[in-house]
Amino acid sequence: MREERKVVVAVLVSGGGTNLQAILDAEKRGELPHARVGIVVSSRPDAYALKRAEEAGVPTAVAERKKCASQEEFEGEIERAIESVGAEVIVLAGFMSILSEKFTSRYPERIINVHPSLIPKFCGKGFYGLKVHEAVLAAGEKVTGATVHYVNEIPDGGRIIFQKEVAVREDDTPETLQRRVMEEAEWKLLPRAVELTAERIASENFAK
């Protein structure tokens, strides 16, 4: 059987990098036969995710929004980092900056995001991190979960790839709920979505 070239993935981060770690671990276990992480780009120079990347032997880059004169300059730095390794898939793994329509339209159904709720519930502008889990608990929801979707110009508005439900417990805090959603849903769905997308792109490239 002919060995196919792996599709290069760029992971965009801003913080601890737990979702990045889930992808790196899946790659190490051989669960991403069509993909490999080629670069990690952080919006913060002190993000722990950069250390995770370095420990895995993955090149890194930093693009700080506050040091750029405009959104266009910021996205230009990200794009140069992505193009430096020939990445064809972009993963937003706890990336805290909104990307413009001009940027997202360049990569139709090639930018993947994970959101810690069952879209269309508790999503869109203002819903991120612990705020999502606080809203879930305040609403008295019995079930929450995570959604992996493609990114377009609308926050959390792109086509859904996978969703997984997670039960809400009576004694949950936003922190315990966040952790369980990550463990039971995010860390499982995200690597699967990366592989699914990379397999599609590899097939498209082979057909050319």
Distance CA 170, CA 21 (A): 29
1: which residues sit within 8 A by CB, 6+ positions away? none
Distance CA 120, CA 7 (A): 30
Q: Which of 34, 115, 133, 149 is catalytic?
A: 115
Distance CA 71, CA 142 (A): 39
58 close to 24: Cβ distance less than 8 angstroms:
yes
Tell me, yes or no, if 133 is annotated catalytic.
Answer: no
Distance CA 12, CA 60 (A): 10
Identity of the amino acid at 170:
E
41 close to 60: Cβ distance less than 8 angstroms:
yes
**Residues identified as active-site:** 115
